[in-house]
């Protein structure tokens, strides 16, 4: 699902119709043999259903016919109320995952989440910013953020969730943080197929809430392999054109390699927590960290050490010139800024 059609995730109603394509001769003949009433227009078949149980039976039948016909069906379900605002064609596999994780899909569709903030400090331990992280509502259903995003990806809703999470982060920061404090907001490159279009809602939210674009840093999350460097560079360019900054997360581990960092040249480089953990005692980690600092310095990026939990780690990072730090040593993600730092809602 591209962001052009992710304005709503409609619940599956108890009565409606299921459309499928391609409606081949083999599949049409098999449906008739099974006694299923349907209509066909060109390459698309339409089958009415009168209950969720009937819908599930139809999906089982179509899955069997798909296998027998050695084809891949795309389906679109619309309810009797006609509330569907945009056609969303998905695979049978995506529908199976959706129905198996109905509770998580409900959280996504209803925006049943909020944003918590984890402080980012400079070398004097003064708070200069916060990373905003997706979390459950206080009285809402529990979920793990990585699990929510994974189900969204598998069911075609990751563009919707990624955009909604960015908007939540912007709205939370506008309500709780003063101007001049940096707000680090995550984004998935794969959810932004066209930066000029897909980021419009993000920029509109910042303008609507009268926020300073220079306070925002949008960071690439590490969970995705960056396969199209030109596409990500285009996203970076659009953020910067709007007066914002960009960051590369978890550098030194997973997909965020030092080579990727050197190619993208982000404004902020966030060193992976696994490299930072006990870095004061590990010569190999120290060598890698120093290499990252050197390369980041060559294009003027600020370096941030993530996952600091020990005073010794912070002291070592500070001694070798790392400017910013984040981790449990300075604070866990919370629903409001620390009171002792003078911030208030």
CA gap 132, 152 in Å, rounded? 19
- For the CA atoms of 168, 169, 170, 174, the dihedral, rounded to the nearest 10 degrees, stands at 100
Task: Report pLDDT for 274.
Answer: 95
Task: Report pLDDT for 228.
Answer: 79
Task: Report pLDDT for 169.
Answer: 98
Task: Give SS3 for 323.
Answer: coil
What does 141-205 look like in DSSP terms, one character per residue?
Answer: ----HHHHHHHHHHHT-HHHHHHHHHHHHHHHHHHH--TT-EEEEEE-GGG-S-HHHHTHHHHHH
**Axis-axis angle for helices 200-208, 158-176 (nearest 10):** 20
The pTM (predicted TM-score) of the whole model is 0.84
Instruction: Identify the segments of the chain with pLDDT beneath 50.
Output: 1-8, 84-86, 344-345
| Widest pairwise Cα distance in the chain | 76
Buried b (16+ CB within 10 A) or exposed e, 146-161: eebbbbbbbbbbbbbb
Closest CA to 223 of 187, 194, 268: 187
């Amino acid at each position: 699902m591209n962001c052009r059609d992710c304005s709503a995730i409609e619940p599956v109603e108890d009565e409606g119709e299921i459309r499928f394509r391609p409606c081949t001769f083999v599949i049409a003949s098999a449906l008739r043999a099974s006694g299923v009433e349907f209509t066909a227009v060109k390459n698309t078949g339409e089958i009415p259903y009168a209950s969720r149980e009937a819908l599930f039976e139809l999906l089982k039948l179509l899955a069997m016919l798909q296998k027998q016909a050695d084809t891949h069906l795309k389906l679109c379900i619309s309810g009797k109320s006609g509330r569907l605002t945009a056609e969303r064609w998905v695979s049978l596999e995506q529908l199976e995952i959706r129905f198996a994780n109905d509770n998580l899909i409900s959280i996504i569709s209803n925006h049943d989440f909020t944003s918590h903030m984890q402080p980012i400090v400079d070398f004097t331990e003064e708070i200069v910013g916060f990373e905003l992280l997706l979390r459950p509502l206080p009285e809402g259903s529990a979920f793990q953020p990585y699990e929510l995003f994974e189900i969204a990806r598998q069911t075609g809703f990751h563009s919707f969730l990624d955009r909604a999470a960015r908007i939540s982060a912007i709205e939370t920061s506008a309500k709780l943080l003063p101007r001049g404090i940096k707000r680090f907001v995550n984004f998935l490159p794969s959810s932004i197929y066209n930066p000029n279009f897909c980021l419009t809602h993000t920029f509109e939210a910042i303008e609507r809430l009268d926020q300073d674009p220079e306070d925002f840093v949008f960071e690439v999350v590490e969970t995705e392999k960056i396969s199209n460097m030109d596409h990500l560079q285009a996203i970076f360019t659009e953020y910067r054109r709007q007066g914002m900054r960009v960051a590369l997360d978890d550098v030194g581990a997973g997909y965020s390699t030092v080579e990727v960092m050197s190619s993208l040249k982000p404004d902020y480089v966030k060193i992976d927590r696994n490299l930072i953990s006990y870095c004061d005692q590990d010569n190999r980690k120290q060598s890698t960290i120093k290499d990252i600092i050197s390369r980041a310095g060559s294009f003027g990026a600020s370096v941030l050490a993530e996952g600091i939990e020990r005073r010794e780690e912070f002291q070592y990072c500070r001694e070798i010139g790392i400017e910013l730090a984040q981790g449990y040593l300075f604070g866990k993600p919370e629903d409001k800024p620390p009171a002792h730092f003078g911030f208030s809602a």
